[in-house]
Amino acid sequence: MAAQTIEGKAISAAVREEVRLEAQELSSAGVVPGLATVLVGDDPASSTYVRSKQRACEKAGIYSRDIRLEETTGEAELLATVENLNADPSIDGILVQLPLPAHINSRRIIEAIDPEKDVDGFHPVNLGKLLAGEDAFYPCTPYGITVLLERSGVEVEGTHVVIVGRSNIVGKPLAALLMQKRSGANATVTVCHSRTADLATHTRRADILIVAAGRRAFVTGDMVGEGAVVIDVGINRVDDPQAKRGYRLVGDVDYEGAAERASLITPVPGGVGPMTIAMLLKNTNRAARKRANG
């Protein structure tokens, strides 16, 4: 079987267009959605992510504030910045770019964000509500994966989803979302991790295989069941002197091998990646709508 590609770029563009129209509607009703990004230090990858989030806001008609702080910024100063944003009525969403420098306790910063403005969905209140099947901001990457599946026409209900990776930002919230009745997903979910015995036995049984292991081309074709849907969350840089930036991006799945057995597969880049920012914008609009509704 030669797999069809899931077009993350096109699906993300469609979501962003919906977000733009919604932001327009909110703005004409007097509520301009607003997102603040906070970057501490000048890590090049983090700066690139923040820049793309700012640019995406601009295109979507969402007001954005770009807060840059020195690498040496103390925890108290960062907490004060977050508190100011919590109190600022023109800001609906707050995103503190991770990772933070080692001298700052990230958990303490995330917990300081008002859960109603936590558009990244990492606050324990939102994670707890997600697990309990209540209304919450969903973390953007897992949320984006559910939208990718839905808009690619994949029927998730009743299927066996196998997730490789149990991180707090991808694997765990994704498992909660996909097993849920509230989200309409209703899948049976298996979560595999670094201590899982005989990983391939699990991955081969998946109707939908989602890989977020942070290891380049780690899932090979023989680990994929015939006709499975494969979602590759991985983003790994590989040096490539021929490439414009001196590197190229590859996923956690060996694309060629997996595509021979899968029915549908996401490419890297252009699969899950573009969905993450689209969902961040969608969450920001959602927070703004709550403000509009009082």
**Is residue 170 a contact point for ligand NAD (CB under 6 A)?**
yes
CB nearer ligand NAD, residue 91 or residue 178: 178
Of the candidates 198, 284, 14, 129, the one whose C-alpha atom is nearest the C-alpha of residue 292 is 284
For ligand NAD, the closer of residues 26 and 232 by Cβ is 232
The interface mask with ligand NAD, positions 83-102, x = CB under 6 A, is: --------------------
Considering the rule CB under 6 A, would residue 194 count as an interface residue with ligand NAD?
yes
* Residues labelled catalytic: 53, 97, 120
Among 23, 35, 104, 192, binds ligand NAD (CB under 6 A): 192
Residue number of the CB closest to ligand NAD reads 167
Residue with tokens 């700012």, as numbered in its chain:
54
Q: Measured from the CB atom, is 93 or 165 closer to ligand NAD?
A: 165
User: Distance between CA 173 and CA 163 in Å, rounded?
Assistant: 11
CB of 228 to ligand NAD, least distance (A): 17
Q: Which residues inside 150-169 make contact with ligand NAD, applying CB under 6 A?
A: 164-167, 169
Q: What does the buried/exposed string (b/e) look like for 177-212 if buried means 16 or more CB atoms within 10 Å of the residue's CB?
A: bbbbeebebebebbbbeeebeebeebbbebbbbbbb
Interactions with ligand NAD, residue window 250-289 (CB under 6 A): 252, 272-273, 276
Nearer Cβ to ligand NAD (56/85): 56
Helix (H, G, I), strand (E, B) or coil at 182: coil
In 70-139 the beta strands, taken as DSSP E runs, fall at 93-96
Measured CA to CA, the distance from residue 287 to residue 293 in angstroms comes to 10
**E strand or H helix at 76:** helix 75-87
Which CB, 106 or 236, lies closer to ligand NAD?
Answer: 236
Nearest to 276 by CA among 139, 97, 96, 100: 139
Give yes or no for residue 149 binding ligand NAD (CB under 6 A): no
CA–CA dist 142, 137 (Å, integer): 11
Query: Does 55 sit near ligand NAD (CB under 6 A)?
Result: no
Site size with ligand NAD, rule: CB under 6 A: 25
To which H or E segment does residue 34 belong? strand 34-40
Among 130, 212, 217, 281, interactor with ligand NAD by CB under 6 A: 212
- The footprint of ligand NAD (CB under 6 A) covers 141, 164-167, 169-171, 192-194, 196, 199, 212-215, 233-236, 252, 272-273, 276
